[in-house]
A and B are shown apart, each in its own frame.
Chain A
Amino acid sequence: MLGICRTKASLTLQRLAKLNSFRALSSLGFTVMPKFALPSSNKHISTLSGISQHAIQRCSQWRCYASASSAGLSQDKITERVMTVIKLFEKISAEKLTIESHFMKELGLDSLDHVELLMAIEDEFGFEIPDQDAEKLNKPSDIIKYLCEKMEDRQYVCM
């Protein structure tokens, strides 16, 4: 009986981790999880805040996932942000722009415009793109793939 409760609760916790906000997780964790459900805990669980301390510790493993997807770092969100930045760049006409359109050959940018565009993307996502990577990013799809890889390196999830 206890074992079933434990596994059920931990499964629910994993499902809850995929939700988009930590607040939902913690509030549901408070109602769903009985206090003996955490497999590794023997400590007294305080219920002062309504959330068990071990719920918080366990949730911190999943916290970065939850905040990453809520902060807009899934592949769709990255695509959306990249395309918005590119559309706002005034030297590109929005009609010819697709995900696979080449900046220099199809959209008519020169290399200086390319540098400016990558600076705009650096500003949007908040980190610097080194020179040797920058010269390979010639299409919006290249940029999206590169950003997903960079986000994975930093232990965010690209779903």
Chain B
Amino acid sequence: MSASAASLSSQRQRVLSLYRQILRLARQWPGRPGVADPATEAAYIRTEAGTLFRQHKSLSDPVVIESHIAEAESRINLALHYNIPYPRMPNLPPGCLATPGQPKRRTARGMDDALPAYMKSYKSGYAPKIK
């Protein structure tokens, strides 16, 4: 009990420091000159982080929280590496989507499986409600 409480509060500190790290990134986002406006991308980073963090703020299972922390860290590292804050569009495997002549029952699951771990918040049932 105390172990899980301690792990929750240390997780809480990690989550808040991740949020702070993302906001500090947004403050000095360089953008890509000629391609992307730093102010627009910084605004995107702030709204995206705010939406996703608030969406999951009432989670209690430490394993799930850990996977979301990993998601946040991956997105931070990808954004820093490519200098692009938007998530990379995933590849859907062929034959996954239903076509007019060929209905498929496992489309939603196929799309979920195609999404990598750093897009965990975008999988079905989790679609972030952007206000």
Spell out A's residues near B (CB within 8 Å). Answer: 110-112, 115-116, 119, 123, 128, 131, 134-135
Contacts and interface: CB of A to CB of B under 8 A. Distances in A.
A115 B57 contact: no
Interface residues of B, number: 13
B115 to A, nearest CB: 25
A75 to B, nearest CB: 27
B16 A115 contact: yes
B20 A115 contact: yes
A119 B16 contact: no
Given A112-B57, A116-B23, A131-B20, 9 more contacts: A110-B54, A111-B16, A112-B54, A115-B16, A115-B23, A119-B20, A119-B27, A135-B13, A135-B16
Interface of B: 12-13, 16-17, 19-20, 23-24, 27, 50, 53-54, 57
B23 A119 contact: yes
Nearest to A132: B13
